Amino acid sequence: MTRKVPNMLAWLILGLSCLQPVANFAHKNTINHDINYLRCLAYFLTLFVITSICLFLWKTLNRRSSFISAALFIGIFTICLTSDYLIFNHGVQLLNFFGLRARIFYPIELGGFLLLAYLGSTLIARSKDLLLAFFAALFTFTTWDAVQVLLIAKETHRPSIVRTSSDNGVHTPGQIKSKITPNVYFILPDSHVGKDVFPYLKIPPTIFSNLQARDFQIINQAVTNATVTTYSMAHLLSMQLIFDGLTKVTHSTVGDTSLAETTVFKEFRKRNYSFVHFYDGYDGPQCPEGTDVCVSASHFLTKQDVQFLARTPLLRLALKSPLVVGDVPLSLYLYPNRLEIPDMIPRLPEASSGPFFAFFHFSLPHPPYRYAKDCSYQTFRYGIDAYRDQIQCAATLLTSLVDGIIEKDPGAIIIVQADTGDIFPGAPDEPTILGWPESTIPKRVSILSAFRGPDSCLTYLKPGLSPVNTFRWVFACLDQKPPEYLPDRTWIVRYLGDVGDGTLLEWPQVNKAAQASRD
């Protein structure tokens, strides 16, 4: 029967097997304004070329096998290989349950993929009905992901408060004459907890004493406005409480908004400031359109390429590899555009080139956990010990960056402020809030926050100041007037698709309600 099936169907199945994982990747990442759809097309073409070569080799070496069987085997194996990220954690948990080491999961997984591809291709190729059903299912899943890409892209491009909260997107450079025009540096160490969490980590809060010694004012009890980066940044850059009155986040709440479209960027432009963006090549935002100076390390591969590779076992094997290549762990080569703080310091702009707004967003202490506490590179690790080492290194590197800025630009306004804290292990059977252990939520909302600037402006800082008010303070300082602060409020939220699927719970009210229900 299979010989009567046109070869065209075999090619369609092979093509859809390559297109489906790429369409799903685009679906899951459309909310990210840095996504490049041309690179997604390149992923599909690369997969299709590789699988086509495999198909021709298969037929050359095994002429007795049917063309459709070979296409099915290669297609099913490709789908399995690019879906590794869905099953890895569950597979490792199962091995741990039986007391087996996680590393044996890889040969078991590969063998399982091959067996599934063999059984699936053999069974499906024998029945015309199964073959058509498989093709229909593959076509349906691919079409579903493609439609979701279009719908989400349309929704995220709708006007949002982050994009339109300043003059509906219209600004005129130089229309506001600030009374003072110091250069402004905003340094965001991703996932850096506040001082109150350091006793839990059992390490000294070195960064706080270092910053105080350099005339920074530390914000006590500083908390984030939202517990994940995208939504915390939205509050920071819109200077608005975007979750006020909402119970759930949608794709259009924040939208596909680059830095250049935000209120903060526009307010700096009004004051005739230029924009300098430092990109570390890890998980921070890339230089957006409208950047005057982009400080980054260019490479053919991008962060998006690494994210796509992360869907396969190949990336995870490299991440765990102990190999060292050129004095650098092999795992770091998966971040080809990495630019660490010591590489940025020599590239700091001259103070005389201002006024400018310099923006830094570091994956530090955020994963990948690449640093030992002495700032030497190490193979990536995970867990609280890895975080503890990296945050100690962060104190050293952030201090060196601040010193470099002060040496070049002593009169600058400098802000060191995290987006969120971090989540740490909870007790067994502990109640959770949106999937996070309840006891660790305070560590997630606690952030490092420190300001350096004119004494006349520092007097307006207050305990508990949250990111939504950070640039309200900055622009009030530039204009030499008292800042108009919004209430400092915090929402527990996770990304769409995660636990809660965008549900908003205000902190600490939800914590008080949970405690009352147990009393």
* pLDDT value, residue 256: 55
Amino acid at site 60: T
Instruction: Evaluate if residue 516 carries a pLDDT over 80.
Output: no
Owner of token pair 């350099």:
214
Show the tokens assigned to 103. 């590393």
Q: Which tops the pLDDT comparison, 333 or 115?
A: 115
Q: Read off the pLDDT of each residue in 132-155 and give the average, rounded to a whole number.
A: 85
Angle between the 7-29 and 128-156 helix axes, to the nearest 10 degrees?
30
Instruction: Evaluate if residue 518 carries a pLDDT over 60.
Output: no
* pLDDT value, residue 228: 93
Q: Read off the pLDDT of each residue in 402-425 and give the average, rounded to a whole number.
A: 95
Across 53-62, 132-141, 463-472, least confident range: 53-62
- 186 pairs with which residues across the strands? 359, 415
* pLDDT value, residue 32: 65
Q: Read off the pLDDT of each residue in 165-187 and give the average, rounded to a whole number.
A: 66
Q: What is the pLDDT of residues 461-484, one digit of tens each?
A: 999 999 999 999 999 999 999 999
Query: Residues with Cβ < 8 Å from 239, sequence gap 6 or more?
Result: 165, 263, 264, 468, 469, 471, 472, 486
The β-bridge relationship of strands 413-417 and 184-189 is parallel
* pLDDT value, residue 258: 64
Distances in Å between the Cα of 177 and the Cα atoms of 180, 267, 440 are 9, 11, 45
Cα Dmax for the chain: 85
Confidence bin at 326 (pLDDT 50/70/90): low
Instruction: Evaluate if residue 323 carries a pLDDT over 60.
Output: yes
* pLDDT value, residue 88: 65
* pLDDT value, residue 174: 54
Amino acid at site 292: D
Distances in Å between the Cα of 87 and the Cα atoms of 92, 106, 193, 329, 368 are 9, 11, 31, 26, 21
- Please state the pTM of the whole predicted model: 0.80
Show the tokens assigned to 193. 């907890």
Between CA 140 and CA 147 the distance in angstroms is 10
Q: Which tops the pLDDT comparison, 153 or 271?
A: 271
Instruction: Evaluate if residue 382 carries a pLDDT over 60.
Output: yes
The β-bridge relationship of strands 449-452 and 217-218 is antiparallel
Class of domain 180-245+253-291+338-488: alpha beta
Average pLDDT value for the chain: 85
Could you say which DSSP state residue 438 is in?
G
Confidence bin at 232 (pLDDT 50/70/90): very high
Confidence bin at 384 (pLDDT 50/70/90): very high
Q: Read off the pLDDT of each residue in 198-212 and give the average, rounded to a whole number.
A: 96
Q: Which tops the pLDDT comparison, 167 or 344?
A: 344
* pLDDT value, residue 273: 94
Per-domain boundaries in the chain: 2-155, 180-245+253-291+338-488
| Nearest alpha-carbon partner for 258 in 228, 225, 279, 286 | 286
Confidence bin at 105 (pLDDT 50/70/90): low
* pLDDT value, residue 325: 65
Confidence bin at 163 (pLDDT 50/70/90): low
Q: Exposed, middle or buried: residue 161 (CB in 10 Å: 0-12, 13-18, 19+)?
A: buried
Across 44-53, 377-386, 412-421, least confident range: 377-386
Confidence bin at 149 (pLDDT 50/70/90): confident
Count of residues making up the chain:
519
Three-state secondary structure call for residue 50: helix
Between CA 245 and CA 249 the distance in angstroms is 11
The backbone region for 224, taken as left when phi is positive above 0, alpha when psi lies in -120 to 50, beta otherwise, is beta
